């Protein structure tokens, strides 16, 4: 197969994720303009290749066997942040904490929630990321979604936002997004950011290799009695439980940590054991929040009795 300019073979993906596990992408590219991204997706479709996108890899678990197909990571213009009046228009690959900090310097309020979400605009839209009640959908005005067929603009009402999900399909890449913000005092907005960072430092481990929340909090379930996934895992004795190089964090039981030399298989085994223990104790089946890239094999213990 003849590869277009900039497409590489056997690209290691672990370093593009915050947990640092997993294999290689069969093919990999860093498109830096919408036009080039659309052309690349068109080429992949014509070759019958599956396509996946990596943002900051902050909620991503890559199979140890890697990914068969084309993985893209947005670069250049597609990770830029610009001001248009009271709007901030970002590339899908722009980092949300950078966009939040830049908006604060411009005296624009509404993106503060992004300061603690270590993902990109595209990843945040895909995951409907959220923190401390700040709603992505409230400030998001539109996104450009790029596919093999070209670029299409969508509004939040068309994105099917629900708890940690959207209706974006594999192969649909968020290439740009516009946030409609309001004018505020620079000092006040920066103060809010500092406060939010402080709160986060107290609540979550820092400086560890993790993909954030492993499991979603259970939907309104009487058996959960309002408890979060982290609280259920902790009550089921999972804090600091370790399999291979993977363990549930000491500070936050819903965070899996690569404590050194972990493989994705270690993490899957740990997740299965955590889920089994919560089910045995509370009868609740936790569902993963973390997104998987490539073919994975859950251990047999993933299937719960009953
Ligand atoms: C320490 C820590 C704290 C966290 N705190 C929070 C939090 O408070 N709230 C919260 O909601 N999440 C949190 N997360 C999880 C994570 O940051 C979010 O889910 C984030 O939105 C993921 O963005 P990403 O760019 O890293 O996406 P990735 O992890 O790279 O990918 C996640 C999914 O999004 C898709 N995707 C990525 N980019 C695009 C794109 N441009 N177009 C289409 N699909 C795309 C991927 O294909 C994949 O399916 C935390 C993670 C960590 C490590």
Whether 94 shows a pLDDT value over 90: the answer reads yes
Annotated active-site residue in 164, 165, 180, 242: 164
Is 289 annotated as catalytic? Answer: yes
Please tell me if the CB atom of residue 214 comes closer than 6 angstroms to any atom of ligand 1.
Answer: no
**Span 205-297: which CATH code?**
3.90.78.10
CATH 3.90.78.10 spans which residues of the chain? 205-297
Distance in Å, CA 55 to ligand 1 centroid: 7
Q: Is the pLDDT of residue 156 over 80?
A: yes
Residue intervals of the chain classified under CATH 3.30.43.10 are 8-76
Query: Residue 62 has what pLDDT?
Result: 98
- Quote the pLDDT of residue 305: 84
Instruction: Find the mean pLDDT for residues 274-292.
Output: 96
Distance from the CA of 113 to the center of ligand 1, in angstroms? 14
Is the CB of 56 inside a 6 Å radius of any atom of ligand 1? Answer: yes
Q: Where in the chain is the domain with CATH 3.30.465.10?
A: 78-202
**Cβ 119 under 6 angstroms from ligand 1:** yes
Tell which atom from ligand 1 comes closest to the C-alpha of 56: 26
Give pLDDT, residue 158. Answer: 96
Which is the catalytic residue, given 63, 166, 178, 213? Answer: 213
CB 61 less than 6 A from any atom of ligand 1: no
290 Cα–ligand 1 center, Å: 8
CATH 3.30.43.10 given to domain 8-76:
yes
User: Does ligand 1 have an atom closer than 6 angstroms to the CB of 60?
Assistant: yes
Closest residue CA from atom 27 of ligand 1: 123
* 48-74 pLDDT per residue, tens: 999 999 999 999 999 999 999 999 999
Give the distance (Å) from ligand 1 centre to CA of residue 1.
Answer: 32
| Closest-lying ligand 1 atom to the alpha carbon of residue 172 | 43
Is the CB of 134 inside a 6 Å radius of any atom of ligand 1? no
pLDDT score at 135: 76
Give the range among 45-54, 83-92, 216-225 with minimum mean pLDDT: 216-225
Determine if ligand 1 sits within 6 Å of the CB of residue 88.
Answer: no
How far apart are the CA of 40 and the centre of ligand 1, in A?
23
Q: How far is the CA of 289 from the centre of ligand 1 (A)?
A: 10
Contact status, residue 54 vs residue 13, Cβ threshold 8 Å: yes
Question: For this structure, is 213 an active site residue?
Answer: yes
Predicted pLDDT of residue 137: 87
- CATH label, 78-202, candidates 3.30.1490.20, 3.30.465.10, 1.10.287.110, 3.40.50.2300: 3.30.465.10
What percentage of the chain has pLDDT greater than the value 70? 98
Q: State pLDDT tens for residues 105-146.
A: 999 999 999 999 999 999 999 999 987 666 788 999 999 999
């Amino acid at each position: 197969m003849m590869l277009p300019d900039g497409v590489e073979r056997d690209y290691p993906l672990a370093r593009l994720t915050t947990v640092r596990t997993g294999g290689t992408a069969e093919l990999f590219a860093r498109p830096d303009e919408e036009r080039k991204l659309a052309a690349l997706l068109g080429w992949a479709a014509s070759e019958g290749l599956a396509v996946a996108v990596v943002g900051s890899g902050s909620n991503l678990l890559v199979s140890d066997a890697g990914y068969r197909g084309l993985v893209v990571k947005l670069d250049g213009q597609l990770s830029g942040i610009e001001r248009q009046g009271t709007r901030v228009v970002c590339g899908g690959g722009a980092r949300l904490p950078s966009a939040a900090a830049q908006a604060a310097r411009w005296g624009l309020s509404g993106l503060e929630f992004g300061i603690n979400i270590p993902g990109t605009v595209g990843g945040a839209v895909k995951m409907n990321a959220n923190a401390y009640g700040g709603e992505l959908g409230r400030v998001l005005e539109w996104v450009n979604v790029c596919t093999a067929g070209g670029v299409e603009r969508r509004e939040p009402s068309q994105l099917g936002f629900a708890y940690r999900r959207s209706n974006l399909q594999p192969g649909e890449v968020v290439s740009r997004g516009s946030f409609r913000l309001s004018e505020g005092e620079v000092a006040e907005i920066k103060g809010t950011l500092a406060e939010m960072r402080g709160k986060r430092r107290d609540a979550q481990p820092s400086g560890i290799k993790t993909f954030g929340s492993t499991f979603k909090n259970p939907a309104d379930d009487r058996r959960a009695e309002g408890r979060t996934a982290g609280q259920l895992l902790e009550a089921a004795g999972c804090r600091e439980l370790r399999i291979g190089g993977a363990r549930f964090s000491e500070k936050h039981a819903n965070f899996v940590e690569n404590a050194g030399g972990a493989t994705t298989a270690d993490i899957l085994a740990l997740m299965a054991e955590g889920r089994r223990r919560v089910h045995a104790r509370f009868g609740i089946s936790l569902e993963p929040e973390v997104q998987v890239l490539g073919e994975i094999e859950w251990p047999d213990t993933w299937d719960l009795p009953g």
